[in-house]
A = this chain, B = another copy of it.
């Protein structure tokens, strides 16, 4: 029987064990942005390294940060003995860290106590990281396992370098340095493969050829040097809460366009044929909104673009967090000493994250309320990335998905950000193929994050098939 047949059979008969392994991994609370979880993040890295070793790869834990060890570790694994093998050399990138879990009260089950529930689309696994990105990485890891156990060769004799990051959800602050320090190693690869994107719908798989960039800032407006009694001071001095909302409200004009001067200067306009192609895709903005409890009238955003165009090809400004004054129970008549907001911008080619955050800070300065002072902080950023739609690797990925799902994938973009793609292009000249299986309503970054086993199944088979098709390219 052909190796791929055995591999696919293995994936079916071993699915329970595969999911059980994913559950083990999901139990480790690898929240990278919160220092309290540093030890758990490392545990999740070691767990992944062990899994890769069991599939026959050589896996190392690499320290990151300056000095080394101040960052979260990177898992780097390679297929042994294939240094001089013919055929493609694939860099697989994924991340094993997860987002914070708050508001924790809204979780129906513990974020790190994974449960299998049934719902629309069949069984799904519910936990933080179920989809983003442990679940998606697991599809690839189990395809490797299947090829070793049933396919008769580690990774089907395809050269792989596997890079699993632990800081993706906290801005990948150490990744750039790591990539530059190991650039020679990654330049040897032919293409990067990432499973951290979505399908168009449960029924319609997709290959993603573009992602948005990001710059994430925090601004703090300082007023009086102490909290004040709103009776004695109300009407007599600036209230940072009042003043901050008056400044931030100016971020958008009546067409919901961002008002920062030059913000759109380097945005590549959407081509007519691209818009036409997207219009043909089976997607309903109203249906998507219904899934998050909103009516069709909530289909708002930059004027002149459809929801899909706004997500895939237009930049945004979002207040991800705002806080100032008394936020506890009951009433406190205070004028606070300061107010703050976390403001991020999703960017599209060819916007530059650093230039945008600088322009935003300057824009705030121009609006400094009388007697107040700003404090600016840049959390993280990442370049937008679009990839060639005509590369042999993207064609191979499409064919693999079609064989695994029985349906040709749509070519789509994503509004999310995968900064590593831009970095690999800039530092190592690598193109990236995004082969992901998430759904719009997987609640990534939210309470009750889920990943449907149906999606997991398609993804694992697609990765198994991709290896088979890469073998044919030798």
Q: How many angstroms from the CA of A324 to the CA of B321 in the assembled complex?
A: 6
Q: Give me 10 A-to-B residue pairs in the complex whose CB atoms sit less than 8 angstroms apart, sorted by A's number.
A: A225-B293, A226-B293, A226-B448, A232-B311, A233-B292, A236-B310, A245-B319, A318-B335, A322-B327, A323-B323
Q: How many angstroms from the CA of A329 to the CA of B170 in the assembled complex?
A: 10
> Is the CB of A255 closer than 8 A to any CB of chain B?
no
Contact A198 B232 (CB under 8 A): yes
A236 CB contact (under 8 Å) in B233, B285, B325, B335: B285
Q: How many angstroms from the CA of A328 to the CA of B379 in the assembled complex?
A: 13
| Closest chain B residue, CB of each to CB of A222 | B293
Q: How many angstroms from the CA of A331 to the CA of B169 in the assembled complex?
A: 8
Query: Which residues of chain B are within 8 angstroms of A246 by Cβ–Cβ distance?
Result: 249, 252
Contact B100 A332 (CB under 8 A): yes
Chain A interface (Cβ within 8 Å of chain B)? 33-35, 99-100, 102-103, 106, 170-171, 198, 212, 214, 216, 218, 223-239, 241-242, 244-246, 248-252, 285, 288-289, 292-295, 297-302, 307, 310-311, 314-336, 339, 341-342, 344, 346, 369-372, 379-380, 414-417, 440, 443-448
Contact A323 B322 (CB under 8 A): yes
Q: How many angstroms from the CA of A342 to the CA of B369 in the assembled complex?
A: 21
Contact B320 A236 (CB under 8 A): no
Q: Which 5 residue pairs spanning A and B have beta carbons closest together?
A: A298-B371, A225-B293, A231-B416, A249-B249, A33-B330
Q: How many angstroms from the CA of A346 to the CA of B333 in the assembled complex?
A: 10
- Contact A346-B235, Cβ < 8 Å, known A246-B249, A445-B332, A447-B226: yes
Q: How many angstroms from the CA of A206 to the CA of B381 in the assembled complex?
A: 57
Q: How many angstroms from the CA of A445 to the CA of B323 in the assembled complex?
A: 19
A239 CB contact (under 8 Å) in B225, B318, B335: B318
Contact B227 A445 (CB under 8 A): yes
Contact A232 B415 (CB under 8 A): yes
Q: How many angstroms from the CA of A326 to the CA of B238 in the assembled complex?
A: 25
- Contact A318-B241, Cβ < 8 Å, known A100-B326, A301-B235, A346-B230: yes
Contact B328 A100 (CB under 8 A): yes
